[in-house]
Structure 1
Amino acid sequence: MAVNMKKKFPKSWKDNSMAGHDWYLGFMSRNPTLSLRSPETTSMARATGFNEENVLYFFDLYKRILDEHKLECMAIYNMGETGLTTVQTPSKIIAQKGQKQVGSITSAERGTLITLALAVNAIGHTIPPMFPFPRKKYYDYFVRDGPSGSIGVSNGSGWMQEEDFIIFLKHFSKHTRCTPKSKVLLILDNHISHHSYSAVKFCIDTGIILLSLPPHCTHKLQPLDRSVFGPLKKYYTSRKIIYNL
């Protein structure tokens, strides 16, 4: 910038292709609202995918669907997935100064990541969640103490697969009681498991309108990611019984 604006600067700046440490300290002292922070890693696809054209196109489709089918708030659902570990990170505690090790007893040191698939409508009503477990076989006792009405499936990875999404759609259709004459809108991400022919056909037959969010935009446009999953994980962690050593 100094070269392009033809400003005077020390020769060392040109030799090192950067400003000196003294300039940095002076700049920070003149701008007390700034601080040195570590940026969060963001993929190139996510950084470029969230742009004005994609966002406007999505909301144009969304508005056309609402106008065409005259959908009300209770018929607009958002579906998302998140991971919950069976071992939570303990929260901060007050300890004696100088104590090198402070521990908390949990169920184990390394937990298992369990996927939670959830749908919530625009007025806050929820569909009982579905839990894809990272197991080869599924047993009913996996969700014995889970939320009322919740269901579970199992596969090798623990993440949503095409067959699991069909099960979720049937579960979703049962609780929303949607029909081709009384349709509901389901907004979800564009994961490959949501794009199968069987899933689309089932939605057409049962009155579910699928609307996919633009690729790599869920961190900004997914309502569940923005306002539900964060508080859910904090509450889930706070309800875990942890004993301080």
Structure 2
Amino acid sequence: STLIKLDLMDKPAQIFNCDETGFSDITQRKHVIVTSSTRYVFEKHGGSGKQYTTALIAISAAGQVISPFIIYSGKVLMNMWCKGGPDGSRYAVTKKGWINSCSFEYCLREMFIPATQHLNRPLLLVMDGHNAYMNINIVQMMKQHNIVCLILPPHCTHTLQPIDVVVFNNVKTDWSNIVTNYFKSGDKSIKNADIPYLMKQLLIAKQSFSST
């Protein structure tokens, strides 16, 4: 297996899983969780449905959590969308609010590599093959920093993606509670400026990652 080949069977700190979760401002009578690959849409009455935000999270088998990389849909990144989030978080915009190769390259260079530079090599990074993250710069960067990328088969995340199966099951529950409390405060939709604060509340819920 890959773990044996890389001699990582007893080195959980060097094994990372990278996955994404998404939020829409569409809202209905009560919040609803809808899965599509690794994206989870939480809804409650009031939103326009035009905004989509993605958070990319990497977690090691030893429990190290890389600060989330938050992607908004839009053309210009507003300062107010980047305040009050988890320490170390980074933010970007893409046309649809989805991760693409350029945004993932930035995340790898500015977040993942600096946060793991203290670890022994090689590192194993497990990812979902359904999303077209890769470009030549990413491949070269991984080779330079001795990061081995294991791409999972498309459409198999519900059984093979460790974060999706284990961690995000708890994340969904925590996020559902956070959204419920948010709407109880009188707000009718989740705005981009609210995402950093809500994401910070999600990470404060330590039980979300207790199973990793």
User: What one-letter code is carried by the residue in structure 2 that aligns with 1:110?
Assistant: S
Distance in 2 between the 1:165 and 1:136 partners?
17
Q: 1:47-126 maps to which residues of 2 (within 5 A)? A: 60-65=1-6, 67=7, 72-86=11-25, 90=30, 108-111=46-49, 112-126=51-65
Structure 2 unmatched ranges of 5 or more: 33-43, 187-212
TM-score (norm. length: structure 2): 0.70
> Which moves more between the two structures, 69-78 or 230-239?
69-78
Distance in 2 between the 1:193 and 1:71 partners?
31
User: What one-letter code is carried by the residue in structure 1 that aligns with 2:114?
Assistant: K
Structure 1 unmatched ranges of 5 or more: 1-59, 93-105
Which protein is bigger by CA-based radius of gyration? 1
Q: CA deviation at 1:230?
A: 2.6
Work out whether 1:177 is the aligned partner of 2:117: yes
Higher RCO, 1 vs 2 (CA within 8 Å, ≥6 residues apart): 2
Q: 1:178 to 1:193 in 2, by over 3 A?
A: farther
- Could you list the runs of 4 or more consecutive aligned residues of structure 1 that deviate by over 6 angstroms after TM superposition? none
Aligned residue for 1:84, secondary structure, equals: strand
Distance in 2 between the 1:212 and 1:131 partners?
22
Distance in 2 between the 1:209 and 1:244 partners?
45
Please report the RMSD computed on the Cα atoms of aligned residues, expressed in angstroms. 2.7
TM-score (norm. length: structure 1): 0.61
Work out whether 1:233 is the aligned partner of 2:137: no
Aligned residue for 1:63, secondary structure, equals: helix
- The residue number in structure 1 matching 2:86 is 147
- Assess if the C-alpha contact under 8 Å between 2:27 and 2:47 holds in 1: no
Aligned residue for 1:193, secondary structure, equals: coil
- Assess if the C-alpha contact under 8 Å between 1:178 and 1:184 holds in 2: no
Q: Over residues 33-76 of structure 1, what are the superposed CA-to-partner deviations in whole Å (9 max), with x where a residue is unaligned?
A: xxxxxxxxxxxxxxxxxxxxxxxxxxx234322x2x67611111
Q: CA deviation at 1:109?
A: 3.5
- Assess if the C-alpha contact under 8 Å between 1:187 and 1:213 holds in 2: yes
Q: 1:91 to 1:212 in 2, by over 3 A?
A: closer
Distance in 2 between the 1:237 and 1:86 partners?
14
Q: 1:224 to 1:243 in 2, by over 3 A?
A: same
User: What one-letter code is carried by the residue in structure 2 that aligns with 1:143?
Assistant: C
- The residue number in structure 1 matching 2:99 is 160
- The correspondence for 2:156, drawn from 217, 225, 243, is 217
Q: CA deviation at 1:80?
A: 0.4
- The correspondence for 2:128, drawn from 189, 211, 220, is 189
